[in-house]
Structure 1
Amino acid sequence: MIRRRALGLLAPAILIGPAQAAEPGLDALLGRYAGTPADGVTRVAYGRWKASAADMAALDAWIAEAATRRPSAMPRGEAFAFWANLYNALTLKLVLERYPVRSIKDIRSTGVGLDPRQFLGPWRTRLVTIEGTRMSLDDIEHGTMRPTFRDPRVHYAVNCASIGCPNLPLRAWRAASLEADLDAAARAFVNHPRGAALLAGGGLRVSSIYRWFREDFGGDDAGILAHLRRHAAPPLADALRNVTRIAEDAYDWALNDATPS
């Protein structure tokens, strides 16, 4: 069970503290290997990254330093940024260690006994110890971030190394700019065809994220549509005024690789 001490955040204020001192190291790695081409989908040069022993070690060092921090003592914004950055760094490490793979779902969870979910992807493997608790990616996202922050924008902050996922940020999340950056990430995804797209017959296709986690987006189609309208820009915003239900959902699990085979 996840220790709920991590949920006891001090204050809602967004502050910069010592816990963010190492973020420039993650910035450098993201800047070196991640980029967003004209199609609007951020991709990672996993092959180049894996070929650099120094930068593989730099990612390991960033994660090891993060594991010394105490998110339970952080203000809310700083804790949100901490967990999102840790999730993304661990996901990158998982993929890099097993690269080349066609999809993150080709990586199974380990150390979980007979849990059948081990075959669905690596999200159950416990990867890091935070404040004495050994944690998996599922523990971070679903056991900590979603119930703690109760903010649908969690889904725009964490990246699962897939084309269908909201973009990996090109720099580490920071408390000081968190609200603006989360809103920008939401707008970027909602207004991209993999977030929401009008079909030829007038129906609406959305990312499966909105269906899988509908409780975070209002609980039903009406709630999802309200969320989409909140972040939509013209012409999507205009089209959504007449939409009352979602026709279908889709998700692309292909690896967000800058140089796919």
Structure 2
Amino acid sequence: MKKNILILLFLGIQGIAQNFDYRNYNSLLNSHVSSRGNVNYDKLKTNKADLDKVVEEFQKNQPSSKWSRNEILAYYINSYNVHTLKKVIDNYPTKSIKNIKNAWDDKFIILGSKKISLSYIEHNILRKMNEPRIHFAINCASYSCPNLLNVAYLPNTLETQLELVTKEFVNDSSKNDISTDEIKISEIFNWFSGDFKTKNTSLIDFLNKYSTVKISDNAKVRYLSYNWSLNK
């Protein structure tokens, strides 16, 4: 795990992309998020001006038809995560993002001439890009969520980053309990089950691409209760 974290730190150390400069966002993450994805919300609240500056950068520099698929994916993954931080900080202190009214449906994110919500980014943009690994890159500010990466996702390193965070999540014993004949897994795999299957592959097939334990095709599947406590 430490090796993978070091790789991610190396990949995101500069935060420079072709059509978007993620350096300020990268610095914000480095300063307020641990290598295990724990957010120092108290410190971030104190440095709210830095957070608002990064949010403004996302609002002023948005994807166009000239951007590559990876550039668009990286932008919206990072945008989802930074706006989730903003939603929490704007309502902090709180013990859970679920205590915030309309946290996911509030249209507080500026996208061109309209305002959109976190749900819109997740369901109307990212999930429509046919990339199931986004579920392990976007973070809902909760303990049971995939860990918030403390570096920016970048277009030229996106494939490696998505592979690493997916493998980390699947094999994280605090998120999933996997054995050959029985798996107790995150509700994420239940809520978005269709995203992990294709006409010729199953959820077990997806998990076996990343699990260090080989799962039987007829393994018993159970879903774990989701812990919505703030990831601090």
Q: TM-score range by the shorter chain?
A: 0.7 to 0.9
Q: CA contact under 8 A between 2:204 and 2:217: conserved in structure 1? A: no
Judging changes above 3 Å, is the alpha-carbon distance between structure 1 residues 196 and 225 closer, same or farther for their aligned structure 2 residues?
A: farther
Deviates more, 1:88-97 or 1:55-64: 55-64
Structure 2 counterpart of 1:49, one-letter code: L
What are the Cα deviations for residues 161-197 of structure 1, in whole angstroms up to 9, with x where unaligned?
A: 0010011111111001000000000000000124431
Partner of 1:117: none
User: How do 1:69-108 residues align onto structure 2 when only pairs under 5 Å count?
Assistant: 69-73=61-65, 74-108=67-101
Output the amino acid matched with 2:159.
E
RMSD: 2.1
Q: Per-residue CA shift, 1:205-245, capped at 9, x if unaligned?
A: 1000000000101179x722111100112xx23xx136533
Return the match for 2:141 from 161, 173, 177. Answer: 161
2:26 maps to 27
> In 2, are the aligned partners of 1:69 and 1:130 still within 8 Å (CA)?
no
1:66 corresponds in structure 2 to: 58
Q: 8 Å contact 2:183–2:219 — kept in the other structure?
A: no
Aligned length: 215
Residue 171 (str. 1) matches residue 151 (str. 2)? yes
Aligned to 2:109: 128
The CA deviation at 1:27 is 1.1
Which ranges of 4 or more aligned residues in structure 1 deviate by more than 3 Å? none
SS at match of 2:108: strand
Hey, what does 1:213 align to over in structure 2?
A: 192
Give distance in 2, aligned partners of 1:203 and 1:86.
36
Q: Matched residue of 1:18: which SS?
A: coil
Distance in 1, Cα, partners of 2:172 & 2:29: 22
Verify: 1:43 aligned to 2:59, yes or no. Answer: no
Amino acid at match of 1:107: I
SS of match in other structure, 1:85: helix
Structure 1: tracts of 5 or more residues without a match: 1-14, 110-121
- 3-state DSSP class of the match of 1:153? helix
Checking the alignment, whether the CA contact within 8 Å between 1:211 and 1:249 is kept in structure 2 is no
Structure 2 gap ranges (5+): 1-15
2:204 partner amino acid:
L
The alignment's TM-score, normalised by the length of structure 2, stands at 0.86
Tell me the secondary structure at the aligned position of residue 247 of structure 1: strand
Q: Conserved in 1, the CA contact under 8 Å of 2:190 and 2:223?
A: no
* Paired position in structure 1 for 2:7: none
Q: Percent identity?
A: 30
Given residue 26 of structure 1, which amino acid in structure 2 is its aligned partner?
Answer: Y
Under a length normalisation based on structure 1, what TM-score does the superposition of the two structures give? 0.77
Offset at 1:59?
Answer: 1.2
